[in-house]
Copies of this chain bind each other. A is one copy, B any other.
Amino acid sequence: MVTIKEIADRLGVSISTVSKGLNGASDISDELKQIVLDTAVEMGYSTKRSRSEKYRKVAIFVENMEYNDIDDFGYDIVLGFKQNAFRQKFEVDVIPVTPALQQQERYDTYLLKNQYCGAFLIGFALHDEWMKQLETTTMPTVLLDNFIPENPTVGYVGTDSNEGIDMAVKYLHNLGHTNIAFLNGSLHSKVSDDRQTAFENSMKKCGLVPQKNLMAHGFYVADSAKYHVPGFLSNGATAIICGNDLIASGVINECKMRGFRIPEDISVIGFDDIPIASTTEPTLSTIRQERNELGRCALVALLSLINHIPISITLLRPQLIIRDSSGCAPVEKK
């Protein structure tokens, strides 16, 4: 287990400062207190406070999303949620969920039996069993990237896909691109649907025509590229927007393997800004999601629902991060 001394060493402060931060003493600044708490959570420190009666329990249920490694999409989301929960005196369990568990045990029952007063669900797909049950759940629940209509105990937290895709299309259009392709993630996913609609609308707003042979759904993995990139290239794409950074990394490799230069021949844009985006060659331009903040906002939304505030949708701003994988459209070949 992590000790107070280890936290002090990592932050370069004294043991007594860490102790003050953990105990909410009034003679250190609020900023420092928050840094101590955030670092303690990040390092997995478990205090006596967190085992006391006053802490209430919430769960993060994870299906189909990596979160253990700092490079994983889910890592910062889980961390941000836990950091904020710790300040608000909530204990958090992170529970991987299989389709089998969802068949076996009702969602509400699972929460009640395990004394969770609410939950945050990440990585669930529209057809998951628990997603259907959420239409009538009475347990405070927040979903990442999923929306349940008309149930006031369920909230949705995500990034504004519409604005993100819009910024990317406008940026590429301003660089002279007209044949812009979109390699989306999986079907049956709310974000994929939202981004598909956003892409088609953004193209039209720029006076461009979304072309059927330049749009495809793959999966949220790098491998998707090899099935769709060859078609995009032969259909004249000069830019490819991708459903996430993993897909984009596959697209970069596929293009290079086929002798296309990035960005001289093809511009590539990702979505998410996970750590690999700075290590692809060339580095990846991408639509950034603030994942730590998504986790923090999910906790705020969950607390609101626990307190009977019917918060429904919380969206964060995306940010377009320009790196080396995008540039001017190539001059047309004669």
Contact = CB atoms under 8 A, between A and B. Distances in A.
A317 interface: yes
A312 B158 CA distance: 10
A310 B290 contact: yes
Copies of this protein, total: 2
A315 interface: yes
Contacts of A6: none
Interface string A143-186: 00000011010000000100100110000000000000000000
A297 interface: yes
A296 B311 CA distance: 11
Contacts of A290: 309-310
Contact of A293 (B297, B309, B313): B309
Contacts of A313: 160, 313-315
Contacts of A309: 290, 293, 296-297, 316
Contact of A312 (B166, B167, B311, B315): B315
Interface in A298-331: 300, 304, 309-317, 319
Interface string A111-152: 000000000000000000000000000000000000001101
